[in-house]
Amino acid sequence: MAKYIMSFSQKTSNDKNMTDKKPELSDAMKKKLEPRKFTKNPILGTKFTIAVSSAKGGVGKSTFATNLALALKQIGCKVGLLDADIYGPSIPKMFDINEKPKSDGQTLTPITKYDIQCMSIGFLADQQTPMIWRGPMVTSAIKTFTQKVGWKDLDFIIVDMPPGTGDTQLTFSQEIKMDGAIIVSTPQEVALLDVKRGIKMFDKLGVKILGLVDNMSYFTGDDGKKYKIFGEGGVKRTAEEFEKEFLGEIPINPEVGKCGDEGKPIVEANPEHEISKIYLDFARKIKSTYL
Ligand SMILES: Nc1ncnc2c1ncn2[C@@H]1O[C@H](COP(=O)(O)OP(=O)(O)OP(=O)(O)O)[C@@H](O)[C@H]1O
Ligand SMILES: [Mg+2]
């Protein structure tokens, strides 16, 4: 046994080859260490891609995205709706879609409902099946939805973003040509904290922020009084702080939630409703910015 144990002090035949000089990196290694450059691919079949984001969960992103898509359609645009929320897709429920998209082995065909071309991971998996996926799988799904879906002749694709500042936001910002992001928030301080992080993320990644929307800004009681349940003016102040446009307010209205739950968002179910008119105003603003 002892003959296999060599003392550390004992010199070996390799020692004369050892040097203090750092080895030169090979060209291939140098290339690997360079900061990665991303190419931003446009989503084929659409003119403009607009994300509805927030970073904060549950502030009404999906409600806003679905109603904005329908409002844009109502003012004559051709619209697609891409549910980018892999872990918590909402479009199947909010648009009451229960069918699976067809595929020719290369391309997935979006499902058209209310004249909107839609795609969601929820169309491919059972509604109650959780997507237990690591980040790279999410990135891969996003790439499929943006590059391998047969979106056709669209003016706008509205992307319903998940909460947070993670893989999905990063993939969209770095690898997909995004024309703008709308930030939705409630006026509550705890929501705004996340929203500020979301704004900084898009700024850092060079995505243009079209503006901020104050959702659930107040509730009008039977007495006609406005109740500012989540505080007042926080979203507008945040917009000013970050030098972004303040796009406007949407009050709390139980009809909004009810229509979403029934699979026919308020703009489609009741275009004359006062809330639908607010979404139509947002849509006109977006249309005039781009078309
Ligand atoms: N203006 C509003 N008035 C009343 N209810 C609203 C309004 N906006 C959104 N809601 C309700 O708030 C809840 C959260 O909305 P939504 O699912 O759109 O949020 P989200 O930001 O997409 O959430 P997540 O982060 O989980 O994706 C839903 O029940 C929705 O119906
Ligand atoms: Mg959502």
Is residue 164 within 6 Å of ligand 1 at its C-beta?
A: no
Model confidence, pTM? 0.90
The answer to whether 238 and 196 have CB atoms below 8 angstroms apart is yes
Q: Give the position, in ligand 1's atom list, of the atom nearest the Cα of 162.
A: 27
88 is known to lie in a ligand binding site: no
Write down the pLDDT at residue 10.
59
**CB-based contact 81:160 (threshold 8 Å):** yes
Q: How far is the CA of 86 from the centre of ligand 2 (A)?
A: 10
Per-domain boundaries in the chain = 46-290
Q: How do residues 82-109 score in pLDDT, each as one tens digit?
A: 999 999 999 999 999 999 999 999 999 9
Mean pLDDT of 223-242: 94
CB of residue 271 inside a 6 A radius of ligand 1: no
> Ligand 1 centroid to 62 CA: how many Å?
7
pLDDT tens digits along 27-73: 888 888 887 778 899 999 999 999 999 989 999 999 999 999 999 99
Q: Is 6 exposed, middle or buried (0-12, 13-18, 19+ CB in 10 A)?
A: exposed
> At residue 291, does pLDDT exceed 70?
yes
**CA distances from residue 129 to 99, 123, 124, 126, 266 in whole angstroms, order as listed:** 16, 11, 10, 5, 28
pLDDT tens profile 246-290: 999 999 999 999 999 999 999 999 999 999 999 999 999 999 999
CATH hierarchy code of domain 46-290: 3.40.50.300
From the CB of 252, is ligand 1 less than 6 Å away?
Answer: yes
Is residue 278 in contact with ligand 1, taking CB distance under 6 Å? no
